[in-house]
Amino acid sequence: MNFLEFMTEKALDPSLAGAASIRQTGEGGRKYPSRKKSEGEKTRMKAAGGGKMVPAKPYKDRKDIGSTKARSEREQQPTQDRGSATVKQSYADKVKAERKKAAQARIAARKAGGEVKRDTTSAKANEKKATELLKKKTTKAVNPNYKPAKASGKTRAERDKIRGEGERYLKSVFKDQETAKYKKETGQNPDAKGRTKILGRVNKRMSS
């Protein structure tokens, strides 16, 4: 039995014979079957506050499921022709500015009595270097002693509150230290100008 006889016997539409296979689409109008994990496979957790962890809610479906975006909507398209006079002029201006900047650097080096460095690398060497840079970067090796931080179960607001309390306490300690230092240096209590100076020192220590 050939394929046409099989199609006829099974009462299928003969026009489908030789046609491309129909690809199964996913749920919700997706072009491909969904690859979401089942409820039993999901392990993602989120902090519920008070040190408790609960299963995270599933992500919401996108509104543009099943639609195909044109390339012009995804990428910035050229606003002018590649060979137009405007493009050529802008590139020429860019090259001219780079050469002018390099010449100014050489003149400044000569006036300062320094050594003028010239780019002696060939175009072939530059091309080879560019090719190396464009190659896929190797991933950094993970430190074998690295241990991921254990989930605290606290929400972002709770963590921010704890960090804020710690920073305020540390700032008060720095302020007391700088005030005592100011009194020791000047032999008097800080006035408005002195308090501003102390606060500047404290903020500098907090940022370092």
- Calculate the average pLDDT of the chain: 79
Whether 178 contacts 202, CB under 8 Å = yes
d(CA 175, CA 42): 49
CA angle 24, 25, 28 (to 5 degrees): 150
Query: What's the whole-model pTM score?
Result: 0.38
d(CA 10, CA 153): 60
Buried b (16+ CB within 10 A) or exposed e, 100-117: eeeeeeeeeeeeeeeeee
Q: What is the pLDDT of residue 30?
A: 80
d(CA 7, CA 13): 7
Q: Tokens in use for 173?
A: 């300690």
- CB neighbours (10 Å) of residue 202? 20
Q: Per-residue confidence of the chain (208 residues) as pLDDT tens digits?
A: 666 666 556 555 555 555 555 566 677 778 788 788 888 888 888 888 888 888 888 888 888 888 887 777 777 776 666 666 766 677 778 788 888 888 888 888 888 876 666 666 677 777 777 677 666 566 778 888 888 888 888 888 898 999 999 999 999 999 999 999 999 999 999 999 999 999 999 999 999 8
Whether 7 contacts 14, CB under 8 Å = yes
Q: What is the pLDDT of residue 191?
A: 92
Q: What is the pLDDT of residue 180?
A: 94
Rg (CA), the chain: 34
CA 193 from centre of chain = 43
Q: Where are the domains of the chain?
A: 166-208
What residue ranges in the chain does DSSP mark as E strands?
45-49, 52-55
